[in-house]
């Protein structure tokens, strides 16, 4: 008896539960980690959490295992000949600093560029320090993943004009939603908060109508009242068709449009060719469904429309986004004066007055740093990353010679994989900051091994930030969560936080970093509050957090004290303010460039493949994996060992393919392999495949283990958006055949 009692006491002493913020993706779900001693034995969602309601995904639940992956780099790596060798981080910094100084001396600061990938920008301290570092050396060549993602959003935002009260989100009242090519139930990005399936079901109980436009009956479309299972690439015609219905039936919000928008007559003329019958034929949907969708959206009082990566990666993504905004404006679905502001701000200060007004269009491109290729400039979505390989490859003054990649993996994620490889291999210096020997790292000179999320303290500010950036994501309530470091750094490791790497590198180079508190979400305000860092100080993570959120609406100390489990803070309530009587700003719903593009659509036949490449390859996400990472753990591979080529059963029969066969998928730029999986939910004639898999073109591939890299099928020499250079990453024309015996055998 005594022994049993003693062991219970020991168990009680060693068993503990800790709350944490998941940082395996942008959603920042609230998780509970159960420890036995130092060991994490279980991770679950927190059902009492007011924003994630217990939701978690398998990635979050395997967070701790991800920190202990055998392939994780515990020390930085340096290329020696054809091999990589471990190197101390201090030595790596010395050497990188010396190489950079030499490159800058010979080629100027513009020859140094940076790409901030998903795990760079999700870690907002990392991206802030990376930007500061570039600024300190005098380079404006900062690129991020927005221009290989949904640049159309930012461009359309600018051309149409933003709304100072923000986008409508899944607040309690939304009564109608149109979701175009976004699958939030899996991807967690979009307007339905952090527990999308839960929020959609709850919304529908209140009477919310959901319309989904997707060639696939996606997990989100599964909940739809109306699913337009369209031909890919026809989204501009579909939205133009809805606008035409709303205008011709006179069911738009005439008072709102008269008060807030210019250009309705130009828009009316431009959508005229898109009759329900024309759109139905082009997009392969029923004319009555298009009409019903438009009427449903117009009839709502509080509607929201959101586009995802589907239309943004298919032809004319900016046009679809632009027309989507015009439809929202026509229906008057923007938050109005007097409505409550869901989240007045906890750690961040919203960018300006929350007002029912638009300042009018803002510059979409044509400003800032000029690229030397394709006539490109900086844009509202940032510098055009798909053109970075051409910038690297094009000789002449200003040619990029050194590249930092932080939390990104261009070799598997940028379009035109062959060109990306040529570009990266031609660099004098390629440094990745990455826990893995990624496909990009394998072509580089140094890999800096970073700490991982559970090893550092953090706050859930990324999701709050996205609510201020016009992304339609963000908290609806004044919520924040703080998590201390929960796991020690692995024994014997030599790891640096991303911010600390750039701080130390600047110090080594004798450069001065400027610190821009994250509290101020408006760039001008952040710049006004910037101050020089003490370059001799050995800052700790806690110092940096305090500096990031100084002067936050709720003091960081209070978030730390009350926010361990996630907390809704008692901040003064705000309402959307009316605009002043003499306010001049108006939306532009008749932008000439966009409407000329729409005229081009009207003048050309429906988007389709060709005789040689008859199928269209669509982008999609898999629940268990995240872009190019989260591929390794066994728990994640149970369902699919890599990225299957999902196909409609009728296409499989026609092509003589069976589930499990290795298919050879060929576009006019390359060939990849994928395991065929049956997907009756897909529109016939389409293949649906996640990106971010495969290997570099010079590496041996195993279709089962590596999957196929869909970027190898796209080109940046044509079909690109003229301003952001967004390439065709979805709706790529391909042909499919059964792979040769030897490849099939390796399956
Ligand atoms: N064809 C096609 N192409 C696409 C897409 C598509 O749908 N279809 N999607 C596009 C989209 S939306 C995006 S956002 C891009 C993504 O493009 P990238 O941002 O370039 O790719 P990721 O896979 O997100 O990069 C993740 C890298 O970060 C590393 N990493 C993981 N955790 C950490 C960490 O804590 N710290 C650091 N420093 N590194 C970490 C991983 O090992 C991996 O190498 O791809 C785009 N490419
Ligand atoms: N589990 C998981 N979550 C993720 C990611 C991940 O890799 N895994 N990636 C993250 C990233 S970086 C991002 S940007 C977001 C993206 O989030 P989403 O934009 O929701 O991305 P997907 O889940 O790929 O959904 C895109 C949908 O568009 C459809 N589609 C493809 N082409 C077309 C077209 O031409 N027209 C229309 N109407 N639809 C089309 C596809 O069938 C698919 O259902 O997800 C994020 N979340
Ligand atoms: S969706 Fe999954 S990976 Fe993303 S934050 Fe939530 S638990 Fe983490
Ligand atoms: Mo993305």
pLDDT at 724 (0 to 100): 97
Is the CB of residue 112 less than 8 Å from the CB of residue 136?
no
Question: Tokens in use for 190?
Answer: 């979009």
pTM exceeding the 0.85 threshold for the entire prediction: yes
Q: 629 CB less than 6 Å from ligand 1?
A: yes
The Cα–Cα gap between 62 and 669 comes to: 37
The Cα–Cα gap between 113 and 103 comes to: 12
The Cα–Cα gap between 104 and 123 comes to: 27
Domains and CATH numbers, the chain: 1-66 (2.20.25.90), 76-150+368-448 (3.40.50.740), 151-336+352-359+588-595 (3.40.228.10), 609-746 (2.40.40.20)
Q: 619 CB less than 6 Å from ligand 1?
A: yes
The dihedrals phi and psi of 697, each to the nearest 5 degrees, come to -60, -25
Is the CB of residue 408 less than 8 Å from the CB of residue 148?
no
Task: Spell out which residues line ligand 3, taking CB within 6 angstroms.
Answer: 22, 24-25, 27-29, 56-57, 59-60, 188
Mean pLDDT of 666-679: 96
Q: 411 CB less than 6 Å from ligand 1?
A: no
Orientation of helix 124-137 relative to helix 498-508, angle to 10°: 20
Residues in the chain: 747
- What spacing in Å lies between the alpha carbon of 149 and ligand 4's midpoint? 5
CA distances (Å), origin 576, targets 78, 337, 338, 469, 573: 54, 5, 5, 17, 10
pLDDT for 200-217, tens place per residue?
Answer: 999 999 999 999 999 999
Q: 498 CB less than 6 Å from ligand 1?
A: yes
Closest alpha carbon to 146 in 123, 164, 121: 121
The Cα–Cα gap between 576 and 581 comes to: 15
pLDDT for 524-543, tens place per residue?
Answer: 889 999 999 999 999 999 99
Orientation of helix 235-248 relative to helix 276-283, angle to 10°: 160
- What spacing in Å lies between the alpha carbon of 518 and ligand 3's midpoint? 23
Mutate to test the pocket of ligand 3, among 21, 29, 473 (most ligand atoms within 8 A of CB): 29
DSSP 345-384: -SSSB-SS--BS--------EEEEEEPSSTT-EEETT-B-
Q: How many CA atoms lie within 13 A of 531 on its CB side?
A: 7
The atom number, within ligand 1, closest to the CA of 438 reads: 44
Long-range contacts of the stretch 470-473 (C-beta < 8 A, 24+): 470/153, 470/154, 470/157, 470/162, 470/166, 470/167, 471/153, 472/167, 472/169, 472/190, 472/191, 472/304, 472/306, 473/26, 473/169, 473/189, 473/190, 473/191
pLDDT for 460-492, tens place per residue?
Answer: 888 888 777 666 677 888 999 999 999 999 999
pLDDT at 12 (0 to 100): 54
Q: Residue for token digits 């499989």? A: 652
Ligand 1, atom 41: closest residue by C-alpha: 629
CA distances (Å), origin 266, targets 160, 241, 327: 14, 15, 14
Is pLDDT at 9 greater than 80 in this prediction? no
Q: 432 CB less than 6 Å from ligand 1?
A: no
Q: 730 CB less than 6 Å from ligand 2?
A: yes
Alpha helices in 376-416 (DSSP H): 388-393, 410-413
pLDDT at 469 (0 to 100): 64
Ligand 3, atom 8: closest residue by C-alpha: 60
Q: 626 CB less than 6 Å from ligand 2?
A: yes
Q: 145 CB less than 6 Å from ligand 1?
A: yes
Question: Tokens in use for 541?
Answer: 């993570």
pLDDT for 294-321, tens place per residue?
Answer: 999 999 999 999 999 999 999 999 999 9
Write the DSSP symbol of residue 469.
T
The dihedrals phi and psi of 18, each to the nearest 5 degrees, come to -125, 140
Q: 433 CB less than 6 Å from ligand 1?
A: yes
CA distances (Å), origin 521, targets 100, 124, 166, 740: 31, 12, 14, 54
What integer best gives the mean pLDDT of the chain?
A: 94
Ligand 3, atom 4: closest residue by C-alpha: 25
Q: Which ligand is nearest to the CA of 186?
A: 2
The Cα–Cα gap between 315 and 727 comes to: 8
Closest alpha carbon to 649 in 681, 609, 621: 681
Residues sharing a CB contact under 8 Å with residue 613, sequence separation 6 or more, in sequence order: 666, 667, 668, 733, 734, 735
Q: Residue for token digits 């979009």? A: 190
The dihedrals phi and psi of 734, each to the nearest 5 degrees, come to -140, 165
The atom number, within ligand 2, closest to the CA of 182 reads: 20
The atom number, within ligand 1, closest to the CA of 713 reads: 1
pLDDT for 127-136, tens place per residue?
Answer: 999 999 999 9
Q: 235 CB less than 6 Å from ligand 2?
A: yes
Mutate to test the pocket of ligand 1, among 144, 317, 435, 621 (most ligand atoms within 8 A of CB): 435
The Cα–Cα gap between 321 and 600 comes to: 16
Ligand 3, atom 6: closest residue by C-alpha: 29
Is pLDDT at 10 greater than 70 in this prediction? no
pLDDT for 337-358, tens place per residue?
Answer: 999 888 889 999 887 788 999 9
The percentage of the chain sitting over the pLDDT mark of 90, rounded to a whole number, equals 85
């Amino acid at each position: 008896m005594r022994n049993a009692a003693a062991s219970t006491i020991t168990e009680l002493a060693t068993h503990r539960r800790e709350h944490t913020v998941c940082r395996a993706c942008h959603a920042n779900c609230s998780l509970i980690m159960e420890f036995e001693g130092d060991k994490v034995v279980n991770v679950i969602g927190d059902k009492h959490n007011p924003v994630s309601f217990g939701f978690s995904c398998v990635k979050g639940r395997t967070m701790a295992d991800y920190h202990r992956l055998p392939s994780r780099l515990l020390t930085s790596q340096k290329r020696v000949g054809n091999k990589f060798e471990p190197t101390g981080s201090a030595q790596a910094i010395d050497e990188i600093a010396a190489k950079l100084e030499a490159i800058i001396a010979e080629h100027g600061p513009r020859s140094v560029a940076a790409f901030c990938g998903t795990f760079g920008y999700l870690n907002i301290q990392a991206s802030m320090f990376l930007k500061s570092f570039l600024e300190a050396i005098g380079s404006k060549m900062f690129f991020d993943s927005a221009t290989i993602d949904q640049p159309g959003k930012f461009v359309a935002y600018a051309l149409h004009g933003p709304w100072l009260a923000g986008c409508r989100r899944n607040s309690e009242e939304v009564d109608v939603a149109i979701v175009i090519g976004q699958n939030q139930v899996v991807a967690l990005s979009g307007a339905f908060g952090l527990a999308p399936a839960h929020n959609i079901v709850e919304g529908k109980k209140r009477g919310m109508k959901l319309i989904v436009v997707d060639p696939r009956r996606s997990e989100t479309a599964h909940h739809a009242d109306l699913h337009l299972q369209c031909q890919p690439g026809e989204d501009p015609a579909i939205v133009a068709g809805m606008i035409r219905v709303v205008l011709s039936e006179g069911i738009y919000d005439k008072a709102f449009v008269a008060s807030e928008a210019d250009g309705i007559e130009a828009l009316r003329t431009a959508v005229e060719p898109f009759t329900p019958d024309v759109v139905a034929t082009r997009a392969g949907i029923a004319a009555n469904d298009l009409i019903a969708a438009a009427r449903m959206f117009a009839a709502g009082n509080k509607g929201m429309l959101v586009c995802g990566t589907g239309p943004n990666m298919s032809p004319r993504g900016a046009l679809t986004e632009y027309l989507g905004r015009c439809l929202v404006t026509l229906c008057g679905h923007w938050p109005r004066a007097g409505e409550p502001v869901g989240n007045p701000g906890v750690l961040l200060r919203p960018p300006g007055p929350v007002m029912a007004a638009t300042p009018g269009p803002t510059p979409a491109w044509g400003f800032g740093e000029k690229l030397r290729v394709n006539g490109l400039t900086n844009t509202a979505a940032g510098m055009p990353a798909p053109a970075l390989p051409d910038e690297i490859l094009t000789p002449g003054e200003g040619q990029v010679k050194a590249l930092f990649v932080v939390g990104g993996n261009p070799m598997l994620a940028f379009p035109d994989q062959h060109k990306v490889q040529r570009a990266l291999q031609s660099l004098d210096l390629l440094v990745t900051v990455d826990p893995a020997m990624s496909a990009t790292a394998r072509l580089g000179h140094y890999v800096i091994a970073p700490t991982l999320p559970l090893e550092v303290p953090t706050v859930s500010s990324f999701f709050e930030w996205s609510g201020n950036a016009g992304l339609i994501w963000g908290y609806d309530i004044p919520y924040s969560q703080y998590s201390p470091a929960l796991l020690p750094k692995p024994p014997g490791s030599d790891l640096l936080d991303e911010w600390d790497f750039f701080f130390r590198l600047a110090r080594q180079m004798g450069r001065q970093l400027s610190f821009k508190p994250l509290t101020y979400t408006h760039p001008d305000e952040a710049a006004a509050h910037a101050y020089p860092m003490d370059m001799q100080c050995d800052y700790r993570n806690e110092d940096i957090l305090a500096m990031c959120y100084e002067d936050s609406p709720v003091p960081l100390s209070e978030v730390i004290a009350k926010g361990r489990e996630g907390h809704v803070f008692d901040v003064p309530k705000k309402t959307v303010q009316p605009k002043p009587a003499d306010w001049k700003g108006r939306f532009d719903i008749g932008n000439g460039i966009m409407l000329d593009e729409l005229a081009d659509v009207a003048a050309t036949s429906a988007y389709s493949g060709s005789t040689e490449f008859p199928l269209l390859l669509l982008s999609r996400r898999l629940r268990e994996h995240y872009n190019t990472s989260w591929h390794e753990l066994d728990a994640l591979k149970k369902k699919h060992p890599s990225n299957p080529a999902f196909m409609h059963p009728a296409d499989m029969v026609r092509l003589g393919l069976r589930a499990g066969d290795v298919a050879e998928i060929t576009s006019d730029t390359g060939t990849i392999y994928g395991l065929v999986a049956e997907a009756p939910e897909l529109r016939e004639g389409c293949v649906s495949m996640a990106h971010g898999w495969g290997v570099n073109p010079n590496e041996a591939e195993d279709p089962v283990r590596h999957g196929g890299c869909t970027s190898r099928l796209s080109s940046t020499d044509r079909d690109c958006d003229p301003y952001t250079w967004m390439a065709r990453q979805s709706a790529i024309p391909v042909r499919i055949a059964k792979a040769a015996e030897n490849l099939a055998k390796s399956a």
